[in-house]
Amino acid sequence: MKFFTYKTADDLREHISALGLEIPLETHLKKVLEPVSVGGRSVGNALAIHPMEGTDSELSGEPGELTFRRWERYAAGGCKLFWGEATAVSEEGRANPRQLYLTETTYDSFARLVEHTHTVHRDARGDDSDFLLGLQITHSGRWSYRKPLIAVHNPLVDSVTFVDRKKGICVDESYPVLTDDYLESLEDSFLNAAKLASRAGFDFVDLKECHTYLLNELLGARTRAGKYGGSWENRTRFIRNVVKKIRETVPNVMIATRLNVFDGIPRLPEETAQKAVSQSGPPANGFGISHENPAQADLTEPLKLVSELKALGVKIVSVSMGSPYYNSYLERPMEKPAVGDYPQPEHPLYSVARHFEYTAAVQQAHPDVIILGAGYSWLRHFFVYAAEGNLRSGRVSIVGTGRGILAYPDMVKDLMETGRLNPRKACIADSHCTNLMRAKGNAMGQFPAGCATRDALYAKIYKQAY
């Protein structure tokens, strides 16, 4: 089924209005190119690069040749906030063998990457004093590639968490959960990574609490025993401790977090989902979900968390939702599903509007926090009109793209030179980047991910991978 059929912004506007959705399109662009003040720094425009793993590090975790290439293309393109991608704080918490991993040993190459990125940006755009560069630090929890490292059981999610994918064996109720001792020492691994990131020259670190990775899972770990589970205080202990430790030890680095405001539930083949729910009831665990109907959001706790993190000194919150492992349409509305995924269960405009609605709810509750919004790329070259609309109506502070910028790294340059985006360079949300990220069968155990549709280098890699 073809979803994206619009020739003009008016065609898109008409469909949005027919569906009764709130996606404001403003074709007179102004706010997107205006500076934004972030934690006392002036950031040159309101367009950001969202974290996008290229699964292209060396096996050691150092940025590889293709990492440098990607970051160069981003840096030259003109977005003024660059949110560097998922970088592991521990070996066992890496999502794949080519995920960036920041340690004393790999530190030098990260420092080189930062310096190079600034130089490229300065050479291409004339000024890097208004360019903000951050790094996302993470532990992949149940999605760690060596084995699932889970904070809490959740029967629906356990039933899609593979211990041995080839044999089809998933996590069951006998599978161990991470101990409090492990989590306590992991707080210091986050602190160490933040120290190294700051020393390498990153302006901010993102403590990743999204997409159902470990820190996200802890937020919803109601049935976990011990000091990191159960009560609100316990479930938020890890993030509060890490933020406090970083504030005390590395006061110069800004703290950001990418936060799931709604995990959703796995949409398994209908029968399995029904069986799982009827056996164990609706899931008690999960963040931002309504416990009467876990397929729906309840933003009470996410809003409360943003209040608490703000009070602790967090300056930037990037709003996201869903899990790439079981409901990727929530996180990244798409035209075509990735290999092995189910197709969009709703028209992508609904998924886009959900992103905008929940992001607006966070921004309107916290007008003094820099809120980043996502989920724009399916709108292709029209995304920038929605960005302008949302910025003007105070529903977001900065708009980022993930797949969009991977396909079209020089979009801001084009926008500034021609006043519009080129449809022939825009992302078409065909999930080829995700397919590459999931392609494992080469000598390094992981193919690099990039835009196989718009970038000849990755088109070639795609042919090898598939």
Ligand X SMILES: Cc1cc2nc3c(=O)[nH]c(=O)nc-3n(C[C@H](O)[C@H](O)[C@H](O)COP(=O)(O)O)c2cc1C
Shorter beta-carbon distance to ligand X: residue 161 or 318? 318
Q: How far apart are CA 395 and CA 72, in angstroms?
A: 31
Shorter beta-carbon distance to ligand X: residue 45 or 234? 45
CB of 62 to ligand X, least distance (A): 17
Shorter beta-carbon distance to ligand X: residue 32 or 437? 437
CB of 186 to ligand X, least distance (A): 19
Shorter beta-carbon distance to ligand X: residue 220 or 348? 348
Shorter beta-carbon distance to ligand X: residue 71 or 378? 378
Task: Name the nearest CA neighbour of 96 among 324, 318, 287, 260.
Answer: 324
CB of 51 to ligand X, least distance (A): 4
CB of 378 to ligand X, least distance (A): 6
CB of 308 to ligand X, least distance (A): 21
What are 338's two structure tokens?
């990735």
Shorter beta-carbon distance to ligand X: residue 208 or 237? 208
CB of 155 to ligand X, least distance (A): 26
Q: Rounded to 10 degrees, what is the CA torsion of 11, 13, 14, 17?
A: 160
Query: Which residues of the shown chain bind ligand X in the complex (CB under 6 A)?
Result: 50-53, 85-86, 136, 210-211, 258, 320, 331-332, 374-378, 401-404, 433-434, 437, 449
**Residue with CB nearest ligand X?**
402
Shorter beta-carbon distance to ligand X: residue 276 or 465? 465
CB of 175 to ligand X, least distance (A): 25
CB of 119 to ligand X, least distance (A): 23
Give me the half-sphere count of Cα atoms (radius 13 Å) on the Cβ side of residue 44: 20
**Residue 285 dihedral angles phi and psi, to the nearest 5°:** -95, 160
Task: Name the nearest CA neighbour of 384 among 135, 54, 79, 132.
Answer: 79
Shorter beta-carbon distance to ligand X: residue 186 or 437? 437
Shorter beta-carbon distance to ligand X: residue 236 or 431? 431
Shorter beta-carbon distance to ligand X: residue 36 or 207? 207
CB of 427 to ligand X, least distance (A): 7
CB of 429 to ligand X, least distance (A): 7
